[in-house]
Amino acid sequence: MSLYALLAGKGPSGFGYGSTAEDVTAGLSLAGKTILVTGCNSGLGQEAVRVLALRGARVVATARTLEKAKAACASVVGETVPLACELADPTSVRACVAAVRAADIRLDAILCNAGIMALPKLEQAYGFELQFFTNHIGHFILVTGLLGQLTDDGRVVMLSSAGHKLAPKGGIQFDNLSGEKGYVSWTQYGQSKMANLLFAKELARRFAGTKKTANAVHPGVIQTNLGRHMNPVAQFFFGLSDQIALKSVPQGAATEVYVTVHPAVAGISGQYFADCNVAQARRDADDPELARKLWEVSEQIVAKLP
Ligand SMILES: NC(=O)c1ccc[n+]([C@@H]2O[C@H](COP(=O)([O-])OP(=O)(O)OC[C@H]3O[C@@H](n4cnc5c(N)ncnc54)[C@H](OP(=O)(O)O)[C@@H]3O)[C@@H](O)[C@H]2O)c1
């Protein structure tokens, strides 16, 4: 546990910076619940799958390939269903949606955890900047495809990041979704995480009047494979700060697991959580017009994909 985690306090939820995914689910039985988690084979997603299954949930665990998903599932105790879902490949995401629908798996929650960060050079999928496409568009296809499988009080949880604050002025550069008019790795990562947040906000608006909820999460800063694209100097200092200030993986998975299953979060929707408590996002993340526009643009993008 880092020094900071030892000293940090707890928020109104009774949990805080130092809480782990096991802490926030202690005493909970998730028997009878089914939860889909993307990015099950690494970092926070792997820990979320482990703890959700440990508490009795059936976890539909997705990874880029079926082999990765199967290996991840084999490493945890409990009931898991491995599925392929390559978020940068719409055909793969649609096949994942089709498999869940064909088996008529009812989902108590969809935890959109997978992501990539800070690609050093512009990469694209279908003409769109790859972080935006993977982190946002891939999950947009998945979640909108699975809305009919959500239970009456089902939850959608989006892994955003405090990095959403690095998004460009205005939140989303709708005239530069290709990245070709200018690419700054952290700005584009921030934009993708702003998109995750805005998606949760707009989904929450669309869920109004039902018991379904949508929220976004900042997990903290944790040393995982996510940093693999950072330059070696940044990785060195990141590693140095690990014992002092960073969260461990069990602590990093706490907020997403808390928002996905904790009874205290039932009925809370359209919020941004950090350290297992409601937190303040950048002001434009609360702009309903921006969220609505992103949804409409995403629909138009998806309509043209294979
Ligand atoms: N770690 C942090 O400090 C931090 C801070 C803020 C937010 N977050 C967010 O937390 C989430 C989890 O990150 P992490 O730290 O656990 O990172 P991680 O260890 O790198 O795990 C990311 C997961 O996403 C999967 N993934 C990446 N690209 C994918 C694609 N195209 N299709 C399907 N799956 C894909 C990865 O699969 P492969 O292993 O096959 O690549 C992996 O399973 C991310 O959304 C990230 O933005 C993390």
Q: Where are the domains of the chain?
A: 29-219+265-303
For every residue of the chain, DSSP letters joined together read --HHHHH--B-TTS-BTT--HHHHTTT---TT-EEEEESTTSHHHHHHHHHHHHTT-EEEEEESSHHHHHHHHHTSSS-EEEEE--TT-HHHHHHHHHHHHHTT--EEEEEE-------SS--EETTEEHHIIIIIIIHHHHHHHHGGGEEEEEEEEEE--GGGGGSPTTS--GGGTTSTT---HHHHHHHHHHHHHHHHHHHHHHHTTSS-EEEEEE---B-SGGGGGS-HHHHHHHHHHTTTTPBPHHHHTHHHHHHHH-GGGTT--S-EEETTEE-PPPGGGG-HHHHHHHHHHHHHHHHT--
Nearest CA to ligand 1 atom 7: 161
Q: Is the CB of 226 under 6 A from ligand 1?
A: yes
Q: Give 156-186 pLDDT, tens digit per residue.
A: 999 999 999 999 999 999 999 999 999 999 9
The residue whose CA is least distant from atom 43 of ligand 1 is 39
Alpha carbon separation from 296 to 217, 291, 301 (Å, rounded): 23, 9, 9
Q: Could you confirm whether 17 is annotated as catalytic?
A: no
Instruction: Give the atom of ligand 1 at the shortest distance from the alpha carbon of 256.
Output: 10
CA distance 146 to 31: 21
Query: Nearest to residue 139, comparing CAs of 93, 186, 204, 83?
Result: 93
Stretches where the chain sits below pLDDT 50 are none
Give tens-digit pLDDT for 184-217.
999 999 999 999 999 999 999 999 999 999 999 9
Q: Is 116 in the pocket of ligand 1 (CB under 6 A)?
A: yes
Nearest one of 48, 59, 45 to 108, comparing CA atoms: 59
Q: What is the Cα–Cα distance from 240 to 78, expressed in whole angstroms? A: 35
Sign of the Cα pseudo-torsion (129, 134, 138, 143, in order):
negative
Q: What is the pTM of this model?
A: 0.97
Q: Which residue has the tokens 């939140």?
A: 171
Name the residue among 165, 147, 150 with its Cα closest to residue 295: 147
Task: Please state, in angstroms and rounded to a whole number, the distance separating the CA atoms of residues 21 and 24.
Answer: 5
Q: Which amino acid appears at position 105 of this protein?
A: I
CA of 299 to the centre of ligand 1 (A): 24
Q: Return the residue matching tokens 């949804």.
A: 295
Dist. CA 118–CA 238, nearest whole Å: 14
Q: What was the pLDDT predicted at 45? A: 98
Q: Give the number of other CB atoms < 10 A from CB of residue 196.
A: 23
Query: Angle at the Cα of 82 (from 91 to 200), degrees rounded to 5?
Result: 65
Cβ–Cβ < 8 Å for 268, 287: no
Predicted pLDDT of residue 243: 67
Residues paired with 277 in a beta bridge: 274
Asked whether 168 and 111 are in contact (CB, 8 A), the reply is no
Q: Choose the residue to mutate in 37, 89, 116 for probing ligand 1, maximizing ligand atoms within 8 Å of C-beta.
A: 116
112 C-beta closer than 6 A to ligand 1: no
The structure tokens 């900047």 sit at 129
CATH number (3.90.79.10, 3.40.50.720, 3.40.50.2300, 3.40.50.300) of 29-219+265-303 reads 3.40.50.720
* Residue among 4, 17, 183, 258 flagged as catalytic: 183
219 in contact with ligand 1, CB cutoff 6 A: yes
Q: Is 88 in the pocket of ligand 1 (CB under 6 A)?
A: yes
At position 154, the amino acid (one-letter code) is: G
